[in-house]
Structure 1
Amino acid sequence: VNFFSYWDVTGVGNEKQGHVYRGISYSTSDIQRRYLVIVVSDDFLERTINTLLETASTGNVGDGKIFVSDMIEAYRIRTKESGSAGIN
């Protein structure tokens, strides 16, 4: 894995989640989640996907999704390096 970052996010979807406040349960449509961004080279793509599928799955609604897209270019602002040098 060349790059990994995450954010705490709030999402809305099919899953319903309740919050408990002072002993009272409230049903809400917003769900607290983690948003991950993982950048890998093509050589490690399948391995990374398989690892996530095996380790992140609980079998429950809300396990998440994996989206794969091409990264056209990457730049490190500090050094002005680009390509794999901009990531590593």
Structure 2
Amino acid sequence: MLMVRAIIRIEKVDDVLKELSVAGFPSVSKMDVVGRGKQKGFKFGDVLYDEIPKEMLLLIVNDEDKDDVVNIIMRIARTGENGAFGDGKIFVSPVEEAYTVSTNSKGL
């Protein structure tokens, strides 16, 4: 199992969630986050904006589904043909075990 964490633009979240659900990945946790990327925020005049609001999506998927999920997020979350700073970042990490509390069962 793998955890896919995607930090993306707020305005792209609904489209990404819809596409993931259509593709068979309806189980997602969503959190409001703030932060900045390599560009260290952006500056307008004398004001520096370095805590930019984003959404973080968390999915636990089987190893064989990782590429499908990552490709959906990358395709839908990207702005414009070539993308832009601030479109987001995706992190994939291993998950050793998962349990369902209501059924006391192990696994997805």
Smaller-chain TM-score bracket: 0.7 to 0.9
Pairing 1:49-60 to 2, within 5 Å after superposition: 49-58=70-79, 59-60=83-84
Q: Which has the higher contact order (CA 8 A, sep 6+)?
A: 2
Q: Is 1:16 matched up with 2:37?
A: no
Q: Give the number of the structure whose alpha-carbon radius of gyration is greater.
A: 1
Among 31, 44, 67, the alignment partner of 1:46 is: 67
Using the TM superposition, give the Cα deviation of residue 79 of structure 1 relative to its aligned residue in structure 2, in angstroms.
2.1
Structure with more strand by fraction: 1
Identical-residue share of aligned pairs (%):
33
Q: CA deviation at 1:47?
A: 1.2
Work out the CA distance in 2 between the residues paired with 1:41 and 1:6.
19
Instruction: Note if contact 1:6-1:37 (Cα within 8 Å) is conserved in structure 2.
Output: yes
Structure 1 residues 2, 42: CA separation in 2 closer, same or farther (over 3 Å shift)? farther
TM-score (norm 1): 0.73
More helix by share: 2
Gaps of 5+ in 1: 20-24
Structure 1 counterpart SS, 2:68: helix
Contact 1:17/1:30 (8 A) holds in 2: no
Corresponding residue number in structure 1 for 2:31: 7
The separation in 2 between residues aligned to 1:82 and 1:2, in whole angstroms, is 19
